[in-house]
Amino acid sequence: MILEDLSAVSAPLPWQAGQWQEVHNALQAGQLPHALMLSGSAGLGKDHFALALARLLLCHQSEAGTNCGSCKACELSRNQTHGDLRWLQPEGTSRVIKIDQVRSALAFCQKTASFGQRKVLVIAPADTLNTHAANALLKCLEEPAPDTHIILVCQRPHSIPATVRSRCQQLAFPLPDTTLATQWLALIIGDTQGAGASDFLELAGGRPLLAQSLYLTDAGAALKARAAVLAELISGQVSASEASAVFADASLEELTRFMIEQLERRLRQTAQQGLNSATERVTSRAMFTLLDELRRGQAAVVSGTNPSRDLYLQTTLGRWQSVLGSA
């Protein structure tokens, strides 16, 4: 997450009201757990939520349920100079949070808060902690320093060791309500008709912040092309090897995630329409099998297993065609 140009007040996003209320109630009751794990797909604004919560925890005079935006602590957290806030994320070109970063964060957890109030450590994305780093973190989860809050942000909680996961209170972020997300996006991109916002949201698999970044970059056009070629595979207009070309610029991780999202969308549509024939039931089962295969492929690719790119593309797109082409 880019922590520059922050506004004075960090509020949760409109679709996070439920989670925010839950955390806020716990805080008011003095029962906010010292470790929270925010989980859900990328592009839903979990980092945004973590920042809003961190700044609320550090604020000296929070009102109306968010940080005040004007106290000394808010000024420091806005400028990223608050000594009691540590934000851990992959540095430079690295894709993972390194053990040295975790060690330095542990030292941070042990020291006394500068303002004598609270300290907040945010780890985002926690999925990128390797086993050594996760084990190191375990120490401060097992023996929490007083008034220290640890917020882990992750996409795949099950990729995090159970020892770490079990010591965090879970806070799930599902896909937001489509109407709410469309309204928000339309406002952000200045789309008064709402039609463009709705297109981008669909392309982003219902994830508003991803939809926003698609709108702001050229990635939207590439995704449209990918969605189109997956549809053409189903109708038999292209072969798996022809379709591979459209994914030339995509990593295997991106490709798999995109296919999972597209398949989940189809499964949701199928669920809404109901299964009316034996053939539809068979196809639906095959779609779920394919979804499992894609998720296993995703786990393998994310964990750094490097299958042959060509073979992976051919096999995955071929399966897509054979399962959905018969639907």
Give yes or no for a contact between 145 and 178, defined as CB atoms under 8 angstroms apart: no
How many other CB atoms sit within 10 Å of the CB of residue 304? 9
> Based on CB atoms, which residue is closest to Zn ion, 58 or 185?
58
Q: Which of 114, 111, 90 is nearest to 102 (CA)?
A: 90
> Based on CB atoms, which residue is closest to Zn ion, 60 or 285?
60
Least separation in angstroms between CB 76 and Zn ion: 10
Q: How large is the C-alpha radius of gyration of the chain?
A: 22
Least separation in angstroms between CB 83 and Zn ion: 15
Burial 92-123 (b: 16+ CB within 10 A, else e): eeeeebbbebbeebeebbeeebeeeebbbbbb
Q: Which two tokens stand for residue 268?
A: 């949701």
> Based on CB atoms, which residue is closest to Zn ion, 74 or 123?
74
Q: Which of 207, 179, 184, 301 is nearest to 251 (CA)?
A: 301
Q: Which residues bind Zn ion (CB under 5 A)?
A: 59, 67-68, 71, 74
> Based on CB atoms, which residue is closest to Zn ion, 119 or 165?
119
Least separation in angstroms between CB 33 and Zn ion: 22
> Based on CB atoms, which residue is closest to Zn ion, 71 or 106?
71
Least separation in angstroms between CB 71 and Zn ion: 3
Least separation in angstroms between CB 68 and Zn ion: 3
3-class DSSP string for 164-191: HHCCCEEEECCCCCHHHHHHHHHHHHCC
Least separation in angstroms between CB 1 and Zn ion: 20
Q: Which of 296, 320, 312 is nearest to 156 (CA)?
A: 296
Q: Phi and psi of 5, rounded to 5°?
A: 55, 45
Least separation in angstroms between CB 23 and Zn ion: 17
Which string of DSSP letters, residue by residue, matches 180-240?
A: HHHHHHHHHHT-SSSHHHHHHHHHTTT-HHHHHHHHHSTHHHHHHHHHHHHHHHHHTSS-H
> Based on CB atoms, which residue is closest to Zn ion, 82 or 207?
82
> Based on CB atoms, which residue is closest to Zn ion, 37 or 59?
59
